[in-house]
Amino acid sequence: MALALSSISALALITIFIIIQGAPIITEVGMFNFIFGMTWAPSQGEFGIFPMIVGSAAVTVGAVLVGVPIGICCAIFLSEFAPVSVRNFFRPAIQLLAGIPSVVYGFWGLLFIVPFIREHLGGPGLSILAASIILGIMILPTIISISEVSLLSLPRQYKEGALALGMTQWQAIRYVQLPAAKSGIVAAIVLGLGRAMGETMAVIMIVGNSVALPQSILDPVRTLTTNIGIEMGYAAGEHRQALFATGIVLFIVIMILNATAQYITRRK
Amino acid sequence: MNLTAQTREKIAKTFIWAAAVLVLAVLTAIIADILIKGLPVINFSFLTEIPRSMGRAGGVASPIVGTVLITLLAVTIAVPFGIGTALYLAEYTKDGIITRLIRFSAESLAGIPSIVYGLFGFIFFVIYLGLGWSILSGGLTLAFMILPTIIRTAEEAIRSVPLSFREASYSLGATKTQTIFKVVFPSAIRGITNGIILSVGRCIAETAAVMLTAGSALQLPSSILDPTRTMAVHFYILAVEGISAENAYGTAALLIILIFLINVVANMLVNRFVAKGR
Amino acid sequence: MKFKLLGLLAILTSLLTACGGGGAYARVIVAGSTSVQPYSEILAEEFVFLNPEITIDVQGGGSSSGIRAASTGTSDIGMSSRALNEDEMDYWVVEIARDGLAIVVNPQNPIHELSFEQLQHVFTGEITNWGEVGGNDARIHLIAREEGSGTRGAFEELVMADGQFITPRAIVQSSNGSVRQLVSSDPNSIGFLSLGLVDDTVRALDLDGVAATAENVISGTYNLFRPFLYISREAPEGATAKFIDFILSPYGKAILAEEGLIP
């Protein structure tokens, strides 16, 4: 019984300690100024994280635009089209994709994606676009596995009925199976959002970390996670509190995303 | 544009196949790049020597030791808590407020980004409990991080033990505790092991949380309170700071091989588990 | 439950401390500036080779946290790549070397020299195109270090005038090595890093006609340099003192000079 409460106490401990550390600076600067402040310059006592909120939103949306269409197509492929032999090879491959350390993805992005963007599209290469592509790849396993499970868990009659009505295979998928599996797929996307928003190391390597509002997807930005990751080593005093406060904002956004995903799956 | 159903069918199928090919191509590209450039670096001395000149020369012996110790510690701490929670959820209770709260917190923990675990570990273990940057701080932080994985996989494994096993046990006059430890637990052990192995994979791959809690020392640790660096952290530092591309690739190749082996073992367990269940 | 967990942790910790404290060797913990860290690593390697009974742990963390670690005794020595603040003056300090601050560009960049004023305007973001300083018509990709870094602090102090700040549009990297790596791969970039770490993958710019070399730092013509400090709570003793003596010995200084620092 005592052991069983470990997850509750763990969550409570984490929440309490991060809030204790971060709350003082939020009260001092003011919640509004902290979240909507445009300038982040801890050495001058300026703590505004709005550019990073925009940065996080940009790379997360970018990741979803890259990862979701490919991921859902892949899930349909696995559940409907793939021959058994291909499927038996594909699933472990996706698991491997999920297991590769994020720093390896970041490194690969730095070596291949960043120079490609710099040479062919312009800008410094370290950019929203580079981070979106790498994060898009990194959320694929989440999107694919959850969407696939929800497609496979549909009663067979759905598909058979659609085909019996004279629908083609694609029509059956498009008009019957995908809508029926919607809640699972939406949950997959929301979890993918959370994963993309929470990733740190891969993003630090390829996003540029500038603290200014971006003007295009070829501009560098800083995300909430990279703000913590890049400055934590050096920070002291108010600066460190402000990084914990950044953590609080990140924590709240992620908790909302998780609760949404849990709610969607429950309702089903 | 008004397309016939057949044309749409073809376009859709092309896209679906293209997506599948693309995903495999990206996976192959990443792994091939790392293995082709990394495997030649790996030899006996790379595995057994301590890094020299920040990792420009020498091997990865101390990051290997650091990785093993932190992972072992994290798993040892998280497993009893995780399995305890899973048993409680699966065996002892009907759905109620407490179970819902436990599930909610386990699922929330699973979604918390590793950098937040890092922040927490830093302030709680490193500073508040005064453990410093150490293997202990890193291991404890990762234990928090893998707890939800262990709970979820163990609960699934315990729930998938057929009811008839339990009934048979009770009909022989066994108590609930006896049933759980002598019947349910042994039948679920494969699934539980699978969860543990997956957690080991997560520990090995983690960078952000470990960097903030275990430090980045290159020396071999002499106690669990010494700082260390794991292979993932070592790789990150070598790669980002341009210290040695060669050794970075070697370390990455080692990491990929490890993750691959872990996946293979986990799959073997799951497959046998499924086969046994039938 | 929380208390039980805490209790368990406490027991675990004390057990581990008990096992850990038994060794008969001496251990010196050095922590702080990531700019000083590589040099400390090299010195430590050589020192441990000569004194195998002593272990030296070199940690990063940054100048400020290094000074704090030394002041609380978490580390025996704190490394700083900036001068101490007024409220940090009470500690025992030694300058182990000076380090030039080089302004680096990609070797493909035709620019070999900037005036001090041009340099300021490039980093405040007033000059955004290489054409404005006589180079190609291309956007300047500024690369800076993160807030709190000793190198950034030194750059702001030595280069920027009062009221001038590095533009927030600058790309931020968290180590000298990653600045160098990025500059070496992007033809339109400019960054600043420790002179000792300049190699043939990047080119150090002349400032107002003065080349960024150790000789020019010593002769006083190249003004961008900063101290590398070792800080301790009290005058060091035992193994710590032995390590510092080694660094200040002619042999230690030769090692540092070899690595591009100015002893």
pLDDT band at B277 (very low <50, low <70, confident <90, very high): very low
CATH architecture of the region C100-225: 3-Layer(aba) Sandwich (3.40)
**DSSP secondary-structure letter at B178?**
H
- The pLDDT score that the predictor gives to residue C1 is 42
CA dist., res. C157 & res. A155, Å (int) = 69
Residue A57, SS3 per DSSP: helix
Q: Does C58 touch chain B (CB under 8 A)?
A: yes
CA A153 to chain centre: 25
CA B52 to chain centre: 29
Give CA torsion, residues B79, B84, B85, B90, to 10 deg.
Answer: 120
pLDDT band at A4 (very low <50, low <70, confident <90, very high): confident
Of A10, A97, A104, the CB nearest to B109: A10
Domain-located, residue B35:
no
Q: Please tell me which residue of chain B has the smallest CA distance to A197.
A: B113
Residue B140, SS3 per DSSP: helix
- The pLDDT score that the predictor gives to residue A268 is 53
Residue B134, SS3 per DSSP: coil
Mean pLDDT across chain C, nearest whole number?
85
CA dist., res. C57 & res. C39, Å (int) = 13
CA dist., res. C165 & res. C154, Å (int) = 13
Domain-located, residue B171:
no
CA dist., res. A103 & res. A125, Å (int) = 18
Q: Are strands C206-207 and C113-114 parallel, antiparallel or unpaired?
A: parallel
pLDDT-wise least confident of A238-247, B244-253, C13-22:
C13-22
- B173: number of Cβ within 10 Å: 7
- The pLDDT score that the predictor gives to residue A142 is 92
Whether C241 has a pLDDT exceeding 70, the answer reads yes
Kindly state the tokens that stand for C225: 């340099």
The B residues from 228 to 257 touching C (CB cutoff 8 Å) are 240-243
Decide if B224 and C16 are in contact by the 8 Å CB cutoff: yes
- Average pLDDT in the C190-216 region? 91
pLDDT-wise least confident of A14-28, A110-124, C25-39:
C25-39
Of C16, C42, C176, the CB nearest to B223: C16
Where does C19-99+228-258 sit in CATH, by number? 3.40.190.10
CA dist., res. A218 & res. A125, Å (int) = 7
Angstrom CA distances, B251 to A113, B46, B237, stand at 21, 9, 11
Q: Are strands C113-114 and C92-105 parallel, antiparallel or unpaired?
A: unpaired
CA dist., res. B92 & res. B83, Å (int) = 13
- The pLDDT score that the predictor gives to residue C22 is 38
Whether A168 has a pLDDT exceeding 50, the answer reads yes
Domain-located, residue A89:
yes
Residues A237-248 pLDDT 10s? 889 999 999 999
Residue B138: give the domain boundaries: 56-155+188-277
Query: Where do we find the tokens 């950044």?
Result: A246
Chain A closest-CA separation from residue C66 CA (Å): 9
CA dist., res. B194 & res. B210, Å (int) = 23
In chain A, which residues have their Cβ closer than 8 Å to the Cβ of B12? 170, 173-174
- Average pLDDT in the A92-96 region? 90
Q: Which amino acid is at C130?
A: W
CA dist., res. A102 & res. B67, Å (int) = 16
**Whole-model pTM?**
0.89
Q: Which amino acid is at C17?
A: T
CA dist., res. A51 & res. A57, Å (int) = 10
Helices C250-258, C238-248: crossing angle, 10 deg rounding: 60
Q: Does C38 touch chain B (CB under 8 A)?
A: yes
- Among residues B56, B247, B41, which one has the least CA distance to residue C259? B56
Q: Please tell me which residue of chain B has the smallest CA distance to A196.
A: B113
Q: Across the strands, what pairs with C32?
A: C61, C79
Decide if C178 and B215 are in contact by the 8 Å CB cutoff: no
CA dist., res. A146 & res. A139, Å (int) = 11
pLDDT-wise least confident of A193-202, B11-20, C76-85:
C76-85
CATH code, domain with B135: 1.10.3720.10
Whether C9 has a pLDDT exceeding 50, the answer reads no
Mutation for testing the B interface, residue in A104, A134, A142, A174 having most B CBs under 10 Å: A104
- Average pLDDT in the B222-237 region? 91
Whether A255 has a pLDDT exceeding 70, the answer reads yes
CA dist., res. A197 & res. A225, Å (int) = 8
Decide if B5 and A168 are in contact by the 8 Å CB cutoff: yes
- B162: number of Cβ within 10 Å: 11
Which residue intervals of C21-130 are DSSP H helices? 37-50, 63-72, 116-124
Decide if B242 and C180 are in contact by the 8 Å CB cutoff: yes
- The pLDDT score that the predictor gives to residue A1 is 63
Of residues B270 and A95, which shows the higher confidence score?
A95
Kindly state the tokens that stand for B48: 């057994």
- Count the residues in chain A: 268
Whether C23 has a pLDDT exceeding 60, the answer reads no
Q: Does B102 touch chain C (CB under 8 A)?
A: no
Mean pLDDT across chain B, nearest whole number?
88
Which residue intervals of chain A are DSSP H helices? 6-29, 31-36, 50-76, 84-99, 102-108, 114-120, 128-152, 156-164, 169-172, 178-180, 182-198, 201-207, 224-231, 237-267
Whether C186 has a pLDDT exceeding 50, the answer reads yes
CATH topology agreement for domains C19-99+228-258 and C100-225: yes
Residues C107-166 pLDDT 10s? 999 999 999 999 999 999 999 999 999 889 999 999 999 887 888 988 998 999 988 999
Please spell the DSSP secondary structure of C112-157, one letter per residue. Answer: -EE-HHHHHHHHHTS--BGGGGTS-S-B-EEEEEPTT-HHHHHHHH
Domain-located, residue A134:
yes
* Domain layout of chain C by residue ranges: 19-99+228-258, 100-225
Domain-located, residue A33:
no
Of residues C89 and A199, which shows the higher confidence score?
A199
Residues B263-272 pLDDT 10s? 888 888 777 6
Q: Across the strands, what pairs with C225?
A: C100
Domain-located, residue A11:
no
Kindly state the tokens that stand for A199: 């990733």
Q: Quick one: what percent of chain A has pLDDT higher than 70?
A: 99
**Which residues contact residue B158 at a Cβ distance below 8 angstroms, ignoring those fewer than 6 apart?**
B86, B87, B90, B91, B184, B185, B188, B191, B192
- Average pLDDT in the A192-211 region? 94
**Which residues contact residue A65 at a Cβ distance below 8 angstroms, ignoring those fewer than 6 apart?**
A132, A136
CATH code, domain with A129: 1.10.3720.10
pLDDT band at C4 (very low <50, low <70, confident <90, very high): very low
CA dist., res. C50 & res. C239, Å (int) = 13
- Average pLDDT in the C57-73 region? 82
Decide if A6 and C1 are in contact by the 8 Å CB cutoff: yes
- The pLDDT score that the predictor gives to residue B273 is 53
Domain-located, residue A85:
yes
CA dist., res. A27 & res. B202, Å (int) = 36
Q: ipTM score here?
A: 0.92
Whether A144 has a pLDDT exceeding 60, the answer reads yes
Of residues C25 and B186, which shows the higher confidence score?
B186
In chain C, which residues have their Cβ closer than 8 Å to the Cβ of B223? 16, 19-21, 23
- Among residues A224, A231, A223, A230, which one has the least CA distance to residue A207? A223
Decide if C5 and A9 are in contact by the 8 Å CB cutoff: yes
Query: Where do we find the tokens 């600043």?
Result: C192
- Average pLDDT in the A212-229 region? 94
Residues C149-169 pLDDT 10s? 888 988 998 999 988 999 999
- The pLDDT score that the predictor gives to residue C160 is 92
Whether C18 has a pLDDT exceeding 50, the answer reads no
Chain B closest-CA separation from residue C171 CA (Å): 14
pLDDT band at C19 (very low <50, low <70, confident <90, very high): very low
- The pLDDT score that the predictor gives to residue A207 is 95
In chain C, which residues have their Cβ closer than 8 Å to the Cβ of A126? 171, 182
Which residue intervals of A45-127 are DSSP H helices? 50-76, 84-99, 102-108, 114-120
- Among residues B218, B264, C182, which one has the least CA distance to residue A207? C182
- Average pLDDT in the A159-187 region? 90
- The pLDDT score that the predictor gives to residue C17 is 42
Domain-located, residue B85:
yes
**Which residues contact residue C94 at a Cβ distance below 8 angstroms, ignoring those fewer than 6 apart?**
C229, C230, C244, C248
Helices A84-99, B5-38: crossing angle, 10 deg rounding: 50
The B residues from 159 to 218 touching C (CB cutoff 8 Å) are 215-218
Residue A240: give the domain boundaries: 48-267
Of C23, C59, C201, the CB nearest to B217: C59
Report whether B203 contacts B143 (CB < 8 A): no
pLDDT-wise least confident of B2-11, C166-175, C221-230:
B2-11
Domain count, chain A: 1
Domain-located, residue A30:
no
Q: Which amino acid is at B140?
A: L
pLDDT band at B69 (very low <50, low <70, confident <90, very high): very high
Residue A31 burial (CB < 10 Å; 0-12/13-18/19+)? exposed
Kindly state the tokens that stand for B196: 């543990």
Domain count, chain B: 1
CA B102 to chain centre: 21
Q: Which residues of C touch A (CB under 8 A)?
A: 1-2, 4-5, 34, 60-65, 68, 139, 141, 146-149, 153, 156, 165, 167-174, 182, 185-186, 188-189
Residue A157 burial (CB < 10 Å; 0-12/13-18/19+)? exposed
Whether B53 has a pLDDT exceeding 60, the answer reads yes
